[in-house]
Structure formats: structure tokens, C-alpha cells
Amino acid sequence: MISTTVIEQLKQVETPLYYYDLPLLRATLTAAKKAADVFGYHIHYAVKANNNPRILQEISTLGLGADCVSGLEIERAIAQGFQAKSIVFAGVGKTEKEIRFALRQGILAFNVESLEELHVIAILAEEMKTQASVALRINPNIDANTHHYITTGLDENKFGIMIHELEDCLALIESNKSAITLVGLHFHVGSQITDWSVFRQLCVKVNEWNSWFIERGIVVPILNVGGGVGINYKDPDGEAIVNFAEFFALFHRFLEPKPGQHIHFELGRSLVANCGSLISRVLYVKRGVKKNFAILDAGMTELMRPALYQAYHHIQCLTPHPSVAQEIYEVVGPICESSDCFGKQVELPLLSRGDLMVIRSAGAYGEVMASRYNLRQPLQFYFQE
């Protein structure tokens, strides 16, 4: 939670702004790293969750790898201290420019998502007289029981290599040995997964696919099981840090790697969500016929998740209110869209113009998904050291 001293400082600055609690970030990273180290697991931070240079610096300092989805993410990750050799590059639509850039950097692996992409990587690596390390992304066809927009592991999703193309991929790799090395298998089922039986199902699929490759005489050194660990948006103080020890123990129990095979993860949200908050001010309180609106100076342009996924974010008032009286508000932003709403039926103290508000757990997929729609002001930041 934000201290009273910091609240006093925030009162003096312009809003909306992103507040980052660096001690909490460090505590989260340390917990994750420690828990992964118990089993010798590798973590690649999913840069898409938050690419703020200051946040990246903290994460790279701990020696984590990176999971990138564009050439510019790779460039920024390296600039902020990540080792190229620890970067994996995913995405269904890598451009030739991005592939060439990644090849020049010498990344750990391309997480390849189609036969055609594999073909292009082979051609470019050959041209550049270099070797591309690739992991084949296999769609495990598991329902992640999460919002359909962030479900990625079903047959109907665009992600991963189609199973009927796998044999052709192996043939292509076999005939392009000078340009491509198969280093891994990659899986990812979705994001904000709170039903951990999904990860148990994932382990079963990974074991099955690993056996499928072994039957063909291939033992890949990397089994990358992706990310997706959900956080508790309802109770960001009670459960500020995910139980990483239990999470990794689950994989240890159910995965069956062969000797020499290493397990890699791509964690985004669970590492950064809770260290970030969106700070805003009440501009107006509008008393409607059926409901009261609290109109903030932050909108969907600063935090898009509620508008896009009807995602819940805990909303609190930071200004002290002596009265215990509460009222129900619809908390909205200033953008010309009805979907620009942070929460309906939010119980808050009796608000007035100028009250300082906080929208919690905005550290993941918050800042990075911001837009300039309505020609909004560039984002402001406050880093709690």
C-alpha cells in the first residue's frame, strides 16, 4: 500500500500517473527466482507485460532471461541489461527485419509459430551464414478457463504450429541443418490462469509431445511451458505475491523431463502486476438518476483492461476521509466512449472533486497498452525507490 508520506507527495504532482513500487517488485522477483532455483528452472520475463526501462533494469539485474514479441522489445531488453543469449522471440507475425535483427543478436531461440515462418528463418539464416536456434510452439489444445481474449492454447486460436504441419517442420529442419538447430518445444495456454489444474493438464500434454519427439529420436534441450499465472486482482494487499513455490512444485511433480532437458517459463503478469498502480484524481462527481458517477482524469487510454476485457481492478480513494459514510459509484474516465469505465458498483467514501484515487494491480498490461486516443497527455511516472 502507498504510504501517507508518498500520498502527500502525490498530491503535489500532476495526474494521471503510473506509480511503481520498486521494493515490492524486487520482493516479487526474488520470491520467483528463489522458488525457480529450487528446481533449476529458468524464467524469461515476458516483456510485453511491462517494457518500462526502469522495470526492465530491475528484472535484468536479477539475471532473468526475456521473452520478447518484437524486434524493438529485443532491442530494449538488451539495452536494459538482458543477455541476448537469454532471449526467446515469440509471435505469429515476425517480419524479415525482426528475424534478421534477432539472428544478429544471437538470441537463445525463436519460438516458431508456423511452417512458413520456419522456412523464412532458414532462408535468412542461410543468407546471413549463421545458425538459427528454434523452438517449435505447439498448441496444446487446453482451455485455460480465462477470458476468451487471453486464451491462446486452443485449436481455434491463431497461435502455434498446426499439428498436421509438425512432420513437415521436422523434415525442413533435417534438410536445413546448416541454418537451423532445433533446441526446444514451446507451449503457452493463456494468461491470468487462476485454476491451476490447467497447468497440470499442460504438464500431461508436454510429456506426451516430448515422447512424440523422443520416439522420432529427438531429445530437445529446452521445454518451455510459457507463462500465464494469474494474480489476485481482488485482494492486492492480502496476496501481493503469487505463491511461486507452489506453482513451480506443481510442474516439478507433473513434468517428466529426460536427462539434459531444462524447463523454461515465460512469466509476465505475476512478476509485475501488483507493483504498479494508476493514480488519478476525481475531476467531477455527477449525481445521476439511477447512479452516481465519479469522473476521473485517467481513462481507458491509460488503463485499457477494464474496457477491453471487463477486467476487475481494485479501486481505492487515497485522500483520507474522516466520515465512515460510503456510497456506490460508477468510476469512469474522460474518454468519449461508454466502455471507458473502471468499475461499476464501486463502494467508496463520499467523493469530492480533487480526491486522489488509486487503481491497483496495473503494473502488467497497463502502461504498455496505453494509447493516445483523444490526444491524451503522455504518461507520467513515480518510482517508489
The site for ligand LLP (CB under 6 A) is made up of: 46, 49, 67, 90, 150, 152, 188, 191-192, 226-229, 266-270, 305, 309, 365
d(CA 171, CA 168): 5
Q: How far is the CB of 111 from ligand LLP (least distance, A)?
A: 7
Give min distance, CB of 34 to ligand LLP, in A: 18
Q: How many CB atoms lie within 10 A of CB 247?
A: 19
- CB closer to ligand LLP out of 283 and 308: 308
What region does 145 belong to: left with phi over 0, alpha with psi -120 to 50, or beta? left
Minimum Å gap between C-beta 90 and ligand LLP is 5
In SS3 terms, 112-145 reads as ECCHHHHHHHHHHHHHCCCCEEEEEEECCCCCCC
Grid coordinates given for 373: 486516443
Shortest Cβ 371–ligand LLP spacing (Å): 13
Q: For residues 192 and 274, which CB has a smaller minimum distance to ligand LLP in the complex?
A: 192
- Quickly count: other Cβ atoms within 10 Å of residue 164's Cβ: 8
Which C-beta is closer to ligand LLP: that of 306 or that of 349?
Answer: 306
Closest distance of CB 319 from ligand LLP, Å? 28
Sequence-separated (6 or more) residues with CB below 8 Å from residue 124: 96, 99, 100, 103, 132
CB 231, min distance to ligand LLP, A? 9
Characterize 3-34 residue by residue with b for buried, 16 or more Cβ atoms within 10 angstroms of its Cβ, and e for exposed: eeebbeebeeeebbbbbbbeebbeebbebbbe
The residue among 226 and 236 lying less far from ligand LLP, judged by its C-beta, is: 226
H and E: helices and strands count for the chain: 11, 16
Instruction: Specify the DSSP class assigned to residue 368.
Output: G
Considering beta carbons, is residue 130 or 141 the nearer one to ligand LLP?
141
Question: How near is the Cβ of 267 to ligand LLP at its closest, in Å?
Answer: 5
What is the phi/psi pair of residue 164, to 5°? -70, -10
User: 139 vs 176, which CB is nearer to ligand LLP?
Assistant: 139
CB-nearer residue toward ligand LLP: 159 or 329: 159
**How far are the Cα atoms of 149, 156, 278, 326, 369 from residue 304, in angstroms, in the given order?**
13, 25, 11, 27, 7
Least spacing, CB of residue 188 vs ligand LLP, in Å: 4
SS3 helix, strand, coil % of the chain, rounded to 5?
35, 25, 40
Nearer to ligand LLP, 270 or 280 (CB): 270
